[in-house]
Homo-oligomer: A and B are copies of this chain.
Amino acid sequence: MSSPPRIYIDAPLDEGQAVSLDEKQSKYLTRVMRLEDGADLRVFNGRNGEWRARLVQESAKKVQVEPVACTREQYAAPDLTLLFAPLKKARTDFVVEKACELGVRRIQPVMTEFTQSSRVRSDRLQAVVIEAAEQTERMDIPTVEDDVSLWKALDHWNPTLPLYYCDEAGEALPMAEVLSHAKETAAGLLIGPEGGFSAAERERLRSLSFVRPVTLGPRILRAETAVVSALTLWQSLVGDWRNDPYLPKTSNG
């Protein structure tokens, strides 16, 4: 019933081209995953698709991975960026994990006026997305940017792409309704901190032509719930949940 373990490897993958893993990753595969010499596994590198592979013990502390055959082609998540205000550590990790599961291409932490948390370490979060990508069976790894101020993020936003902004405080249309008119297949989603945006931030956001305010229902959602809900709606109505690339072509147009 269960598939072989799925591991991200930061090296080119090609048939018969064995990859030597460093001691840390070797130890993970043999001690944590308990894989033995000759074990089956699946590997991907975010560029060359997914490969069936074999583990080869290279020395006492190091193993190699030998790609056998490419079993799934490379497939990129849609061009979707999540901008979110960092929360406490465990909840930030949760948001980043879910963003990876839900198929964003880029994660941009933004510091806002009411953000309660200190800056995030993007290298630590990159480890979170790699593990999430292994689990969620995605073929690419989203990038996690260093945090920037909301103002800077807005200044650098490509103004031809819509930035959906979940606004619990003001008048806005339901997100599904707004997305049903979307023409652009690339976008950003901005989720604020638990305390919402400040008046100055809301004024600036509403003044920008590319910003599209949306609502997520009549109840107050926690920030991490809003992230999952907003990403789900975008993927379902605009992104790659519409035409599931892994489904047989006969079941959907």
Q: Chain A: residues with CB nearer than 8 A to chain B?
A: 1, 75, 98, 101-103, 135-138, 171-177, 195, 215-222, 225, 228-229, 232-233, 235-237, 240-248, 251-252
Across the interface, do B135 and A247 meet the contact criterion of CB distance under 8 Å? no
A137 CB contacts on chain B under 8 angstroms: 219-220
For residue A84, give the distance in angstroms from its CB to the closest CB of chain B.
15
Across the interface, do B244 and A135 meet the contact criterion of CB distance under 8 Å? no
Across the interface, do A252 and B177 meet the contact criterion of CB distance under 8 Å? yes
Across the interface, do A102 and B138 meet the contact criterion of CB distance under 8 Å? no
User: Which 4 A/B pairs are nearest by Cβ-Cβ distance?
Assistant: A217-B241, A176-B236, A229-B232, A228-B228
Across the interface, do B174 and A219 meet the contact criterion of CB distance under 8 Å? no
For residue A148, give the distance in angstroms from its CB to the closest CB of chain B.
25
Q: Complex: how many Å from CA A173 to CA B251?
A: 7
Instruction: Please tell me how many copies of the chain the complex holds.
Output: 2
Q: Complex: how many Å from CA A247 to CA B101?
A: 31
8 Å CB contact of A136 from B175, B176, B221, B232: B221
8 Å CB contact of A225 from B101, B215, B241: B101
Q: Complex: how many Å from CA A235 to CA B221?
A: 13
Q: Complex: how many Å from CA A217 to CA B195?
A: 31
8 Å CB contact of A176 from B177, B221, B222, B242: B242
Which partner residue on chain B sits nearest A173 by CB separation? B252
Across the interface, do B241 and A216 meet the contact criterion of CB distance under 8 Å? yes
In the complex where A228-B228, A229-B232 touch, is A219 in contact with B172 (Cβ < 8 A)? no
8 Å CB contact of A247 from B75, B103, B215: B215
A1 CB contacts on chain B under 8 angstroms: 195
Across the interface, do A219 and B102 meet the contact criterion of CB distance under 8 Å? yes
Which partner residue on chain B sits nearest A245 by CB separation? B218
Q: Complex: how many Å from CA A177 to CA B237?
A: 9
Max count, chain B CB within 10 A of own CB: residue among A137, A174, A225, A237: A174
Across the interface, do B218 and A241 meet the contact criterion of CB distance under 8 Å? yes
